[in-house]
Every structure is written in C-alpha cells, then in structure tokens.
Amino acid sequence: MDVAQALEDVLEELVSIQKDVNKLKTASVSGQPLRKRIKDTHKNWLPVVGVLETGNIVDTAQLQEVATAWTALVKLANSPSPKKQHKALLKVIITKTESELLHKFIKGSAIQTIGDPLRKLVQPIADPELLKYLDESIRCAETNCVRASVVLAWCAVAHMVHRKLTSLGIATLNAEFAKMKADKGLMFKAFTKDYVFSTDPDVQEAADAHLILLCRFLTYLDDTQYKHLKGALDLRNGCGHPTGYQPDPVKLQAYYADITQLVLLNPKFA
C-alpha cells in the first residue's frame, strides 16, 4: 500500500467533508449522505492505520490520538449530532493527520531508504580507513541520527585532507602555509594564522577551515569546489555543536554528493 497516497486521499475527502459541514445552516449534521461519507472515509482510513501501527515511523501516541478522534467522529455520524462537535473532531483529525502522521511518514520513509543512495555514492571508495567512517555514518543516518551521520562522514573527509597534506612533507606544508599567509589575494587575505608543524599528527590540530583553504591555495580545488566544500564544513560544524539546526535526509544526501565528489573521489586527493 502507498501509505502517503492513501493518507492524502483520506485528507482530501476529510477536507471536502469539513467544507460541507461548515456550509450547513443547521445546528446539527443530520443528512444521511454526509454522515455516510464520514463512515466511508473512516473505512479508507482503517487499512492505513493498520500499516502505520505495524511500522515504527510515526509516534504511537499521535496515531492513537487520531484514532480516538475518528472513533468519536464515527459515533457522531451514527445519528444526527451537533455540527459543533463534528467541526472540532474534523479539525483535530485533519491537523494531526497532516502534521503528525503524513509529514512524519514522508520524512521517516526517506530515512528508511536513505542508506541506498548514500551507499551508491560511496560505492567506488575502496580505502578501508574511509569506509570505516562512512559505514558508521550511513548506519547513523538509517537510524535517524542525521547530525551524527554528517559529523562522521566529515571524519572521512578530514582523514583524506590530512593524508594528502602531510604527504607533501612537514617542511613543505609549513612553507605553503606561510606562502598562503603572505598571499593578499581576495580569497586568502583574511588568513593570518601562523602554523608551524613538527610532526604529522600536529596537522590534526589545525582548523579544518584552514586546511581546506590550503587545498584551494594548492589548487586541489577550484573556487566553486572550495565554496561547496566550505558549505559542507559549515554543515558539519552546525551538526557537531549544540545548535537548533536539524538537517533532513534531503540535506544529508546533498552533503554526501558534495563530499564524495569534492574530496573522497577527487583524484587530486588520491
């Protein structure tokens, strides 16, 4: 069953019923056709609730609240009943179904299937060090821990950037940082930090923002690529610190597309 489609159909009919109830000039809903439509719509709702109950996408308490409101509405529809009560119940059912069931279902089903596109993106990567982070990141995404997924995937990026930069040799790396500091070009004039590394692990202490700027300086990235990688780092920082931002699966997929293309599968970083 296409649950989203079925919920949309139920909502469409409920909104139509709501309009007709609002139009009534009587104080009660007494017409047989309108009451029958309520019961028929309830019959269409029952299989959907069955599917939602067996899954774990939507909150059981919210589902129960909507189900209780439905029971009360169908009871009202059994005989002529006050319009006011109909209106109140219809409002609860429509609002909750839309925001707490349908929207949550769509986002939840996106989470359930997010692993496939992410695995497809990282499929060409063979490096076990990178796969260690990426596999954990994807498993986080599949359990709806999107922020953790973003942070772990960045670990793979940072690992590759560190490895590439340290492969230059510490002396060369120090010299390139000094050259970048001296560069007064638009892109680099704001960089004023002195970095003097003694060993490879020292590089891990440098800010990722500075390391990727050096990658731009060394032309491993062009301006556009750098801009997108900086965007990915900003997302990682937003997820790795206490903020109110909660990226959704769509954002995560775009982030993965960027980091794989810009670094993880970029031959310049090989």
Partner 1 sequence: MLDKLKADFDGIIELVSKTPAPLQETAFKMILEQWFIANTTPKPAPPPTAPPAPLAPSAPAAPGGVPDLVKPFLTANAITTDILEKVFHPTGPAAQLLASSIPGNGKANKLVSLSLLLCVKQALESGSFTCTLKELRELAVHYDCYDSTNFSKTLKANKNYYNPRDKGADLELSGPGRKKAGEIIKSIAAGE
Residues in contact with partner 1, total (CB under 8 A)?
Answer: 40
Rg of the chain's alpha carbons, rounded to an integer?
28
15 belongs to the binding site for partner 1 (CB under 8 A): yes
Specify whether the CB–CB gap between 261 and 231 falls below 8 A.
no
| Chain position carrying tokens 């821990």 | 145
Contact by Cβ (8 Å): 138, 115: yes
Beta-bridge mates of residue 29: 81
Query: Of residues 46, 187, 196, 250, which one binds partner 1 by CB under 8 A?
Result: 250
Which of residues 14 and 69 has its CB atom nearest to partner 1 in the complex?
14
Of 2 and 129, the one with the shorter C-beta distance to partner 1 is 2
Identify whether the C-beta of residue 259 lies closer than 8 Å to the C-beta of residue 161: no
Q: Which is nearer to partner 1, 36 or 120 (CB)?
A: 120
User: In terms of CB distance, is 81 or 265 closer to partner 1?
Assistant: 265
Task: Fill in the per-residue mask, 208 to 227: x = in contact with partner 1 (CB under 8 A), - = not in contact.
Answer: ----------xxxxx-xx--
Residue 267 binding partner 1, by CB under 8 A = yes
Please tell me the distance from the alpha carbon of residue 248 to that of residue 145, in angstroms, as a whole number. Answer: 10
Which residues have CB under 8 Å from 242's CB, separation 6+? none
Phi-psi bin for 144: left (phi > 0), alpha (psi -120 to 50), beta? left
* 260 is a contact residue toward partner 1 (CB under 8 A): yes
Binding residues (CB under 8 A) for partner 1: these are 2, 4-5, 7-9, 11-12, 15, 98, 102-103, 106-107, 109-110, 113, 121, 218-222, 224-225, 228, 248-251, 253-254, 257-258, 260-261, 265-268
